[in-house]
Structure 1
């Protein structure tokens, strides 16, 4: 069966699927404290998620990342992971992974490893307990650290995702790098993206360009550029002094769209061909209209033919451009 190719000859091999918009944190750059979550009837069932993901895999997707909200707060989500593991066993799927805030890892790490998950991304923006509570509003740092230990014990490799936030974690740059080095975690820094109605001043106040962060890192380490790719948008360097791998995701200071191989499906079955554009395709309707996958496949193929060349995120000239009204928790991280 022909693989998915977008209008710019980019093969689509990476699917990110949100399984819930709910989360047990309320991170200030991600969502409002008093969120209005979607009615449960609007969400795809676990069976529908399985069928949708299996269809994408049949169409050539080789990497599947489960996101949220916080995916591990979705009831019975382990059944879904266990179901997806059959595609790892068949060889059709190269990697099954997830992005999590780490709050539920102490409970689920062993079962995730048993389902074939070998590495995960954990969002962590500070190692200061008070600042952690401030940025997450509801989170406890110790709970996350215990989850990270459980993941390591289960044989799951951890990559820490840190959102670069001006005035918040600038002073922890070296602390985070050194801690990840001791713990054996990879580390990626991400520019804050204009997602959700958070207010222009808030976004500009939060924005810490990765180019500036990288320059500060270069004051303490020799950075060696790497050609390594993980299937996502990160670009990597190696610290010569420690051998650590550090990633940078730069949607604002460097558009990474030229090699984009991914699309996103929301927990309601909306397929977004680009994180930074509003065009989307409804996959829930064909999923629920027929037990046959022909209409679903046709909807997916038609949507991929509308995938744009890139996003429009921009903070230049002191203005927020390309801002998306939907929250990151709706689209999936």
Structure 2
């Protein structure tokens, strides 16, 4: 029996099919809930996984049952060879044909590169948008770049990639008066809005449950202006989906804190510097980079990946009295 026999499964029976790869820890925004104004120390260039290394690992994981790869950051559009990364990954054969490749981005520079990404094999894009108000965007991100983001959203809409998703982190006293405006914006741009409960993944470790807007409150605010109807079983998707005014528009809420979906989690994460994480909130990592650069063969790498996933905990434990926030902020982990 080899490490490639059978699905990539943990001790709770969760079969892992979804891979998240962070291409860089760098970002061209400084969102207040993610990092300080001066930024954080960036990874050294030589520590970032090369495109050859990313392709090799994705190929190994495809043999272990991964069928979808989402590219994240930091901001993945800052990676100079992003189009080549997408092209190489989209050629890899998985259990259900070629790997499906998607991207999460802040949208800045997307209008310049979207056509090349689609030609390379990109299937889907998620764009972060926490506000549509220019002054609020500048305050929240510490950058006056909202017009760049809006151009990126329009370019994604024009590209024909569907579903086009917009991600909004819900924050009390910051954008909780804008939820309905954001949903109307999504409708106008043929996009699916996803609200995300704010999670303890900020660089300053100042997250508090009191500042978080829970899913129940988000839906209550939206229901004041829209008729929301549950859309049915979400499977392994993190979002609870609702039809808006009977459809076809949908809105989702990702209740990572108030109603965690750990029981159906099927994700594997690889950081930009080649560390494997079996949970967004894990405090332990497995050093994939050392194996890749130390001459390990595919069997050894697959065995390490299996061991990492087998050690996955039942849940993230945010409600546990002893919960400790991950040392790395979201920008270094990848979404």
When the two structures are superposed, what TM-score results if normalisation uses the length of structure 1? 0.93
Matched, 1:134 2:139: yes
Matched, 1:182 2:188: yes
Aligned to 1:195: 201
Q: CA deviation at 1:199?
A: 4.0
Distance, in Å, in 1 between the alignment partners of 2:94 and 2:270 is 24
* Counterpart mapping for 1:43-122 below 5 A: 43-87=48-92, 91-122=96-127
1:231/1:74 CA distance change after superposition, 3 Å: farther
Matched, 1:154 2:159: yes
Query: Higher helix fraction: Structure 1 or Structure 2?
Result: 1
Distance, in Å, in 2 between the alignment partners of 1:120 and 1:37 is 25
Distance, in Å, in 2 between the alignment partners of 1:196 and 1:221 is 32
Secondary structure of the corresponding residue to residue 103 of structure 2: strand
1:229/1:204 CA distance change after superposition, 3 Å: closer
Aligned to 2:27: 23
Deviating above 3 A after TM superposition, structure 1's stretches of 4 or more consecutive aligned residues are 88-94, 202-206, 228-232, 319-322
CA RMSD after TM alignment: 2.1
Distance, in Å, in 2 between the alignment partners of 1:291 and 1:312 is 34
Secondary structure of the corresponding residue to residue 170 of structure 1: coil
1:129/1:239 CA distance change after superposition, 3 Å: same
Structure 2 unaligned spans of 5+: none
1:185/1:286 CA distance change after superposition, 3 Å: same
1:174/1:21 CA distance change after superposition, 3 Å: same
**Number of equivalences:** 329
Aligned to 1:40: 45
Deviation by residue 1:154-182 (Cα, 9 ceiling, x = unmatched): 21232000000111111111111111111
**Is the deviation greater in 223-232 or in 104-113?**
223-232
Q: CA deviation at 1:242?
A: 4.8
Secondary structure of the corresponding residue to residue 178 of structure 2: helix
Q: CA deviation at 1:280?
A: 1.6
Structure 2 counterpart of 1:221, from 218, 226, 229: 226
Structure 1 unaligned spans of 5+: none
